Structure 1
């Protein structure tokens, strides 16, 4: 028999997972192109099954959002999407040379699961690159990139992704990540080598 504390804990878990369950039900209905009561019921059954059988690790949300850095991130991101689309278009229609492609490993410096996900989505949404793998334990993203012809291009692309990581940490990173970023920036300003 469940005690009152156990029931409250279960109710809290259900309420916490409710948005995710609703999202899975919506995806189920979109997948089958059916918006019927039967699709809702079967989607709910599948969503409950998926969340109970394939449990994901708990991710702690810090709730820190810096509005200024978030606005800067959004503006720079939109500009990069446009610039990336133009760059890819030029490469596709330049018949004189092949665009060049590479798989680039990018070791992230400040990332936890949330920041890694943000960096991966950001890098994939900018035309010209796509995440092909993420090594969660070592915090390394592997991206397929077009428009790479030499080592300097690889290094420039890697530094660009690390810049996005820093922007994301400034906007929504945890206080500890933000402090680590500030400490590394202070070291760089003094001419010391960061990690």
Structure 2
């Protein structure tokens, strides 16, 4: 009870939601919604959350729903378009497209949004993020088609559009409140 007192209501709800989510994943993996599976799922969720706690991440902006919906549709469009391009490159006659590692300067502010952007870029076929330099805000991305300046410019334009959408959805200047209390090692560990 002493540990719960140091958490606010939002933190308690978040932890409860995590338990419920992990329990649902467990029962869905077993494919049978029985009482025994639900109890086992709850026990597994408790073990995971107590023994493997996630570090607290600073959330420094607000989520804007309309921008998030626009982002989701844009990512979906890029995924379909890129899937068709990669499929065409796989079946067309001739040599494979020229690929290379490109460096991109990022303008997102938070590490959380940068991680979301890089994961999104990786799930879009034709590009894989290889390395991220957090201090300098650089990303090194393997891109399949760099055979022409137009193809390289197209990749950078796609990245800039995704970046603008992520900033619009998560990091608007009006709602931006930088974290003034950096995470300490003691904040990320649970007391047992």
Q: CA RMSD in A?
A: 3.4
Counterpart of 2:164 in structure 1 is 166
CA distance in 1, matches of 2:137, 2:51: 26
Query: Which protein has greater RCO, CA pairs closer than 8 Å, 6+ apart?
Result: 2
Change (3 A) 1:106 1:92: same
Contact 1:66 1:172 in 2 (8 A): no
CA distance in 2, matches of 1:91, 1:59: 40
Q: Which runs of 5+ in 2 are unaligned?
A: 178-192
User: 2:115 aligns to what SS in structure 1?
Assistant: helix
TM-score, normalised to structure 1, is 0.67
Contact 1:24 1:43 in 2 (8 A): yes
More helix by share: 1
Change (3 A) 1:101 1:19: farther
Counterpart of 1:89 in structure 2 is 87
Displaced runs of 4+ in structure 1, greater than 6 A? 176-179
Counterpart of 1:36 in structure 2 is 34
TM-score, normalised to structure 2, is 0.68
Alignment of 1:5-154 (within 5 A): 7-10=4-7, 12=9, 13-61=11-59, 62-65=61-64, 67=66, 69-131=67-129, 139-149=137-147, 153-154=151-152
